């Protein structure tokens, strides 16, 4: 029996301006996809023939243009058409890909696959914890498994869970049933972290449920608030041997998730940018991080806003300060040939005198070199400009940019919650409630297409 394997991911942001191009996708084809996916050994160990398709994954961006989407989806469909007799299909999606003109990219592709494969073919998915599940998705997928960690550190385990469930069902001639229960709340993504209560206990319960013989996966999907679409919300999805079992567990989980809706808070000081700058300058800690949440590149924002940089320059701190990962191709191009130590005149803020500090490189999402960085000093504030969007999520990003993270007392990054890799370097965290494509204040997002009522935009009672 054959199992077809593919991955196609891009988390969308309706408020972002940069639509992904073909060149923005990290792309592998054929056997090379297993440089990124871990499921081949699982399938082959169980005696299945593995048919590789493509791996196409891009950083979070604005909605995906239809021509870009069709390019990659057709490559997957071509492999399906060449193997219509596959017993199973495994796809690693994100779950929140919004495509111009068609909506959910995941749902559209699954519908097309179902038109080709047999009715008995089982489809198994791995999804991000921030997936916005469409009502129809369980109609086309038999097995759905999501990440159980935010920040995400269990991508490998999620793949393995989906793959093992697919093998078990195929070998035992089981057709599992997937049931989704939509939970009408949409919370600030950066308040939802799984190592803290109340999510910690809820996630632990999903593991207990998955140990039941008749349950394959039990999932909490927390939703992705920056897509304005009808499927934007939290949800629970359970895959089991029967509809009755899956529905009962999914509804029970949904009610428990709903009961926690008022319990999610920021885990650090969350204030307006001006207050964050004031607290950072006055703070006694060795190193204070400020996250520019409204311009979070890991949530699809452009990373090009200058608000926090301007506030810090005006404040003229005595502390050594770095604002990292400001997307500005024009500055990098214009001053790339200038040697370190030379003075330049920037056009920002009506004209600012700066000194070139260092030339460096920027890392992509999977740690490959994707472009150049130029760091300039404006008084005691260093600004790291990048020619392409980049997420400064770990010390390695600073190292490649040729700036010493450990030398700074104030560090600004364009993130939401501080990534796990940076936490050891942060003696204090400040969460700037800034405007932008990834603004966390839901009332400012002007969401028109989501289903209503939706907590916390409305306060109401609900039960699954």
pLDDT tier for residue 116 given thresholds of 50, 70 and 90: very high
pLDDT at site 187:
83
pLDDT at site 222:
95
Q: Residue 268: inside a domain, yes or no?
A: no
Same domain? 287 vs 325: yes
pLDDT at site 102:
96
For 200-230, give the secondary structure using H, E and C: HHHHHHHHHHHCCCCEEEEEEECCCCCCCCC
Same domain? 286 vs 241: no
User: Can you give the residue range of the structural domain that contains 344?
Assistant: 273-432
Same domain? 120 vs 190: yes
Same domain? 99 vs 200: yes
Round to whole Å and give the CA distance between 427 and 417: 14
Round to whole Å and give the CA distance between 216 and 206: 10
pLDDT tier for residue 348 given thresholds of 50, 70 and 90: very high
Round to whole Å and give the CA distance between 342 and 340: 6
Same domain? 34 vs 99: yes
Q: What is the pTM of this model?
A: 0.91
Same domain? 214 vs 281: no
- pLDDT tens-digit map of 208-235: 999 999 999 999 999 999 999 999 999 9
CB 187: neighbour CB atoms within 10 A?
Answer: 21
Same domain? 194 vs 233: yes
Q: Residue 303: inside a domain, yes or no?
A: yes
> How many domains in the chain?
2
Same domain? 420 vs 305: yes
**pLDDT over 80 (residue 454):** yes
Q: Residue 452: inside a domain, yes or no?
A: no
pLDDT at site 190:
82
| Strand ranges of the sheet holding 143-146, from the earlier edge strand across to the other edge | 26-29, 49-57, 2-9, 88-93, 122-127, 143-146
Same domain? 243 vs 326: no
Q: Which among 259, 283, 314 is the end of a domain?
A: 259
pLDDT tier for residue 444 given thresholds of 50, 70 and 90: confident
Q: Residue 264: inside a domain, yes or no?
A: no
Reference 96, options 187, 229, 220, 218; nearest CA is 229
pLDDT tier for residue 64 given thresholds of 50, 70 and 90: very high
Mean pLDDT of the chain: 96
Same domain? 60 vs 187: yes
Q: Residue 147: inside a domain, yes or no?
A: yes
Q: Residue 462: inside a domain, yes or no?
A: no
Same domain? 313 vs 398: yes
pLDDT at site 131:
97
Residues 362/401, Cβ–Cβ less than 8 Å: yes
Same domain? 205 vs 111: yes
**pLDDT over 90 (residue 54):** yes
- pLDDT tens-digit map of 122-159: 999 999 999 999 999 999 999 999 999 988 889 999 99
Q: Residue 373: inside a domain, yes or no?
A: yes
Q: Residue 127: inside a domain, yes or no?
A: yes
DSSP 61-96: BSPBPHHHHHHHHHHHHHHHHH-TT-SEEEEEE-S-
DSSP annotation of 136: T
């Amino acid at each position: 029996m054959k199992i077809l394997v593919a991955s196609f991911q891009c988390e969308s942001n309706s408020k972002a301006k940069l639509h992904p191009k073909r060149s923005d996708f990290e792309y592998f084809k054929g056997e090379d996809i297993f440089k990124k996916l871990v499921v081949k050994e699982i399938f082959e160990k169980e005696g299945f023939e593995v048919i590789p398709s493509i791996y196409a994954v891009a950083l979070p961006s604005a909605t995906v243009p239809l021509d870009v989407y069709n390019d990659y989806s057709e490559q997957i469909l071509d492999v399906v058409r060449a193997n219509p007799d596959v017993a199973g299909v495994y796809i690693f999606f994100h779950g929140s890909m919004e495509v111009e003109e068609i909506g959910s990219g995941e749902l559209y592709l699954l519908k097309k696959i179902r038109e080709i494969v047999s009715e008995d073919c089982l489809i198994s998915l791995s999804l991000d914890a921030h997936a916005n599940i469409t009502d129809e998705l369980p109609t086309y997928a038999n097995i759905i498994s999501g990440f159980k960690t935010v920040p995400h550190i269990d991508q490998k385990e999620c793949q393995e869970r989906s793959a093992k469930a697919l093998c078990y069902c195929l070998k035992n001639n089981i057709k599992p049933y997937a049931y989704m229960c939509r939970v009408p709340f949409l919370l600030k993504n950066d308040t939802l972290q799984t190592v803290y209560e109340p999510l910690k206990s809820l996630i632990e319960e999903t593991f207990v449920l998955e140990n039941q013989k008749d349950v394959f996966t039990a999932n909490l999907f927390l939703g992705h608030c920056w897509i304005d679409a009808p499927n934007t919300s939290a949800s629970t999805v359970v895959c089991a041997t029967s509809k009755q079992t899956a529905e009962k567990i999914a509804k029970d989980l949904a009610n428990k998730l709903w009961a926690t809706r008022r319990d999610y808070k920021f885990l650090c000081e969350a204030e307006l940018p001006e207050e964050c700058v004031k607290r950072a300058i006055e703070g006694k800690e060795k190193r204070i991080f400020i996250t520019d949440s409204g311009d979070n590149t890991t949530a699809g924002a452009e990373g090009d806003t200058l608000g926090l940089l301007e506030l810090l320059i005006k404040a003229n701190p005595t502390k050594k300060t770095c604002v990292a990962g400001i997307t500005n191709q024009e500055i990098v191009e214009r001053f790339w040939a200038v040697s370190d130590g030379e003075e330049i005149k920037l056009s920002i803020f009506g004209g600012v005198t700066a000194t070139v500090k260092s030339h460096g490189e920027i890392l992509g999402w999977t740690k490959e070199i994707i472009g150049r960085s130029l760091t300039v000093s404006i008084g005691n504030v260093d600004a790291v400009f990048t020619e392409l969007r980049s997420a400064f999520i770990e010390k390695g990003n600073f190292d490649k940019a040729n700036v010493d993270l450990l030398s700074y007392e104030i560090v600004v990054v364009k993130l939401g919650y501080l990534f796990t890799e940076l936490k050891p370097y942060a003696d204090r965290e400040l969460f700037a409630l800034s405007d932008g494509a990834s603004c966390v204040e839901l009332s400012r997002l002007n969401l028109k297409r989501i289903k209503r009522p939706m907590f916390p935009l409305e306060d109401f009672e609900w039960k699954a």
